Homo-oligomer: A and B are copies of this chain.
Amino acid sequence: MPISEFSLIQKYFANTGKSAYAASLSQGDDAAVVAVPDDKQVVMSMDTLIAGVHFPAETSAADIAYKALAVNLSDLAAMAAKPAWFLLSLTMPEVDEAWLEAFSQSLKQAADIYKIDLIGGDTCHGPLSISIQVTGLVDTDCYVTRSGARPGDLIVVSGQLGNAALGLTQPDLPKALNAKCCKALNRPTPRLCLTDFLQQYATAAIDLSDGLVGDLKHILDKSEVGAVINKGSLPVNDWIRQNNAFEYALNGGDDYELCLTISPANSSKVDTWNQANPDCPLRVIGEITESGYYLVSKSQNIDLSDAQGYQHFGK
């Protein structure tokens, strides 16, 4: 007899995560119940990943699980919230126990690393897709939004940009670079290590899911400001620099690095951060202005004001 939905959840998804905040009631009822400490606000986001749209159909179950959780955690990171609980709605064409074993083990691995507990959800029969809803906690009024950037603020990004898009579209890279880019694509690192930095110094923040140019535009729109990006300052790998393939860094999606703005008075904090955190380097790539949106380099200035990031329903 095939496994029932109830047994399937029990077998594969019980005890996933190591949250600092145990649920009052977890999986196995009509809903989960959690208690929120008095000094915290609740931060909530939900993203769906669909086979053939958000990941190639041949992606491994382990990579799908890891990425599905990571991209949601990245939203919490951009708000400067700490992970607490998540819900999973898993739609599968069939019950493939080997696939489920790999998926659930990888999900558990990511949930343990980022200290977030799976407290509920459902499984359905249908085309492969994964919806995850994450809940984080943040000290009251310490969350960071897209709307606080001010003219003169420095624009800062974490990590390297363009690696995920390069991994998706360029299969013939040198071996070490290919491995790095595939990891960026399939196992992005939600930048939760930056939570305290953001709370202390960020005037605005967003995670880079659809590409730098489009995502930064959301900060500009919400903050009612402009920006100048210095092309030469973009943190990219040597291949992108040598091939002048900055398009990957500017418009390639799926990086899940953070883009934040900080007051120029805090510019030294970036250096201090970088000395202590070589695994998550920050780079100043430009400046917030009163208006306009430009990419500047030695040879030319490009007007970005009509540029858009990845469009889920085409341009």
Contact = CB atoms under 8 A, between A and B. Distances in A.
A308 interface: yes
A38 interface: yes
Interface of A: 1-6, 8, 24-25, 28-36, 38, 41-48, 50, 52-54, 75-76, 78-79, 81, 85, 87-89, 91, 94-95, 119-127, 129, 131, 133-136, 138, 140, 143, 145-147, 205-207, 218, 222, 308, 311-315
Contacts of A88: 46
A252 B281 CA distance: 57
Nearest to A210: B5
A79 B34 contact: no
Contacts of A123: 312-313
Contacts of A222: 28-29
* Tally of this chain's copies: 2
Given A4-B313, A131-B131, A45 B30 contact: yes
A48 B134 CA distance: 16
A30 B127 contact: no
B33 A143 contact: yes
Given A29-B79, A46-B87, A48-B89, 19 more contacts: A1-B315, A2-B315, A5-B312, A28-B222, A30-B78, A31-B76, A31-B134, A33-B41, A33-B42, A33-B43, A45-B87, A46-B89, A48-B122, A50-B91, A50-B124, A50-B125, A50-B126, A124-B312, A131-B131
Nearest to A218: B6
B79 A31 contact: yes
17 contacts: A28-B222, A30-B78, A30-B205, A31-B45, A33-B41, A33-B44, A35-B41, A46-B120, A46-B122, A46-B131, A48-B89, A48-B122, A48-B131, A50-B125, A54-B124, A87-B133, A89-B131
Given A78-B31, A133-B87, A143 B25 contact: yes
Contacts of A126: 50, 52-53, 127, 129
A297 to B, nearest CB: 28
A223 B42 CA distance: 32
Contacts of A218: 6
A1 B91 CA distance: 32
A157 to B, nearest CB: 15
Nearest to A127: B127
